[in-house]
Amino acid sequence: MGELDIRPAVAGDVPAIVAMLADDPLGAQRESPDDLTPYLHALKRVSSDPNQHLVVAVRDGRVVGTLQLTIIPGLSRMGATRSIIEAVRIHADERGSGLGTQLIEWAVDESRRHDCQLVQLTSDATRTDAHRFYERLGFQASHVGFKRQL
Amino acid sequence: MGELDIRPAVAGDVPAIVAMLADDPLGAQRESPDDLTPYLHALKRVSSDPNQHLVVAVRDGRVVGTLQLTIIPGLSRMGATRSIIEAVRIHADERGSGLGTQLIEWAVDESRRHDCQLVQLTSDATRTDAHRFYERLGFQASHVGFKRQL
């Protein structure tokens, strides 16, 4: 396999990102890969916010992974800045290749670079394989994640 | 009881916010109310980020509650913007008064105003009373929340 490059996502990556978001038991129900317009608008919002880091992992010219890292300053924990990882996806062809680990470790390194004291994420309760993966990477399943649709 | 005012936090609110962060079984172990310097620096970082909304609830001139709302644009869920609620604290004198509900509903309304499609939060697994509270307010405990200290 060729070298991996992790870099900020640009508009030309959106079809590949959306295809990965949709190629997933949960994502298949909530994405619309046939109409990229809302995703391109969303990319503009993400790219104009300096605390958002939406990246793609590229190997041999192909987008094979993505995640979004958000930096959040706050007062709790003695004024700690934390980061949140969202929307982690690995292309089906690359699962088991160690790419997930590389992407998460990239996010951890980037969080340290932004002086974060804590990295956090939530994972759907049904994704038990993902839970084991995060625990192997040193994450603790200490919290319950709540969501309310608007 | 007097009228409740929910407004952005300013430096003069920091002692009261930190006292509430520390007056908590988990917070007592990780806050330093005797040295406000790191919190005042953190408030500057929060206040300079237009996607952070750190607010206090004030009644009769006294800070009686706080939370932080963060607006996060993203590509997943058809380019949905989501919000995250963190650091919810209610003064001991006001627990059971309905103030927690008012603060969360403020955060939900503010999230709608920012065109969010989803509001999310995590709650420590030991806070079972809080979990019932969020479920009563229409939140679903659909996720596991992972954290990794840096």
Rounded to the nearest integer, the mean pLDDT of chain B is 95
- Under a CB-based contact definition with an 8 Å cutoff, are residues B9 and B43 in contact? yes
- Under a CB-based contact definition with an 8 Å cutoff, are residues B85 and A76 in contact? no
Q: Compute CA A18 distance to the chain's CA centroid, rounded to the nearest angstrom.
A: 13
Rounded to the nearest integer, the mean pLDDT of chain A is 95
Does B26 score more than 90 pLDDT? Answer: no
**The three-state (H, E, C) secondary structure of chain A, written as one string:** CCCEEEEECCHHHHHHHHHHHHCCCCHHHCCCCCCCHHHHHHHHHHHCCCCEEEEEEEECCEEEEEEEEEEECCCHHHHCEEEEEEEEEECHHHCCCCHHHHHHHHHHHHHHHCCEEEEEEEEECCCHHHHHHHHHCCCEEEEEEEEEEC
Q: Which strands, in side-by-side order, build the sheet including B116-124?
A: A4-8, A52-59, A62-72, A81-90, A116-124, B140-149, A140-149, B116-124, B81-90, B62-72, B52-59, B4-8
Does B1 score more than 80 pLDDT? Answer: no
- The pLDDT tens digits of the residues spanning A100-122 come to 999 999 999 999 999 999 999 99
Three-state DSSP at B21 gives helix
Residues of A in contact with B70 (CB under 8 A): 70, 72
Does A126 score more than 80 pLDDT? Answer: yes
Interface of B with A in 40-59 (CB under 8 A): 41-43, 45-46, 49, 51-52, 54
Residues of A in contact with B108 (CB under 8 A): 148, 150
Rounded to a whole number of angstroms, the distance from the CA of A92 to the nearest CA of chain B is: 18
pLDDT of amino acid A95: 84
Tell me if A141 and B146 make a contact (CB, 8 A cut-off).
yes
Q: With an 8 Å Cβ cutoff, is B69 touching chain A? A: no
Task: Give B19-26 contacts, CB < 8 A, sequence gap 24+.
Answer: B20/B63, B20/B65, B20/B66, B20/B89, B20/B90, B20/B91, B21/A75, B21/A76, B21/B66, B21/B87, B21/B89, B23/B89, B23/B91, B23/B92, B24/B89, B26/B124, B26/B126, B26/B127
Q: With an 8 Å Cβ cutoff, is B146 touching chain A? A: yes
Q: Nearest chain B Cα to A135, which residue?
A: B146
CATH 3.40.640.10 fits B4-136, yes or no: no
Three-state DSSP at B19 gives helix
Residue B91 DSSP class: -
Rounded to a whole number of angstroms, the distance from the CA of A91 to the nearest CA of chain B is: 15
- Under a CB-based contact definition with an 8 Å cutoff, are residues A118 and A80 in contact? yes
Residues of B in contact with A72 (CB under 8 A): 52, 70, 84, 86
Tell me if A108 and B73 make a contact (CB, 8 A cut-off).
no
Q: Nearest chain A Cα to B39, which residue?
A: A79
Rounded to a whole number of angstroms, the distance from the CA of A97 to the nearest CA of chain B is: 23
Q: With an 8 Å Cβ cutoff, is A29 touching chain B? A: no
Q: With an 8 Å Cβ cutoff, is A12 touching chain B? A: no
Domain boundaries, chain B: 4-136
| pTM, rounded to two decimals | 0.95
Residues 6+ apart with CB under 8 A from B23: B89, B91, B92
Which of B51, B78, B149 has its CB closest to that of A118?
Answer: B149
- The pLDDT tens digits of the residues spanning A28-76 come to 889 999 999 999 999 999 999 999 999 999 999 999 999 999 999 999 9
Which of B38, B78, B84 has its CB closest to that of A32?
Answer: B78
Both tokens assigned to A78: 């003695």
Does B25 score more than 90 pLDDT? Answer: no
